[in-house]
Amino acid sequence: MKYTLAVLVENKPGVLTHISSLISRRAFIIESLTAGYTEETDMTRITMVVEAGDEYELQQVVNQLSKLIDVIKIIDLTGQDRIHRELALIKVKATPADRAEIVNIVEIFRAHIVDVNKETMIIELTGEESKIDAMCELLKDYGIKEIVRTGRVAISRAPISAKEM
């Protein structure tokens, strides 16, 4: 099963090394990991999607990560009422003949066209992973040149912040 963890860490050099080293050393399976600034300048938030066989396995991931000195807090968002999103940039082949159809698809998915040239278009799409997967599936027919995805970011809908949980 996949679990979504919000990992609050000190915004210090070497933090990501410590985290990635621990993940590989303990043979944890991480599907995605995304990091960025937060509401506090000295804190970074990492959203991690972890594949774990059961609760015990997940607990090991959480416990081992918690041992890292620079990890301030870990919140399991899996069971919680939450919003999660991913952003994708997709470069798709777009001949003049296909353009109209692609624009249609983009509108249906509420995506944006952020760049166009003679041969390709770049589409920006935000949503849950399944939505991005679905659009990629449709765009395949036109020829996808390149995909970049950010990995999941997630936030709880509770009225308090993760660090207060």
Under rule CB under 8 A, residue 40 binds other proteins: no
**CB-based contacts of 148: which residues, under 8 Å, 6+ apart?**
88, 89
55: left (phi over 0), alpha (psi -120 to 50) or beta: alpha
**Token pair listed for 8:** 């609050």
Give the shortest CB-23-to-other proteins separation in angstroms. 11
Give the shortest CB-112-to-other proteins separation in angstroms. 39
Site for other proteins (CB under 8 A): which residue of 1, 29, 37, 60? Answer: 60
Q: By CB under 8 A, which span of 54-62, 77-85, 93-101, 141-149 interacts with other proteins?
A: 54-62
Instruction: Give helix then strand counts, H and E, for the chain.
Output: 4, 9
Under rule CB under 8 A, residue 104 binds other proteins: no
Q: By CB under 8 A, which span of 67-75, 83-91, 102-110, 122-130 interacts with other proteins?
A: 67-75
**Residues facing residue 3 across a β-bridge:** 50
Q: Binding string, 1-20, against other proteins, x = CB under 8 A?
A: --------xx--xx--xx--
17, amino acid identity:
T
Site for other proteins (CB under 8 A): which residue of 32, 38, 51, 72? Answer: 72
Closest by Cα among 102, 86, 105, 83 to 94: 102
Estimate the crossing angle of helix 129-139 against helix 96-108, to 10 degrees.
160
Under rule CB under 8 A, residue 71 binds other proteins: yes
Question: Which residue ranges make up the site for other proteins (CB under 8 A)?
Answer: 9-10, 13-14, 17-18, 21-22, 25, 56, 59-60, 63-64, 66-73
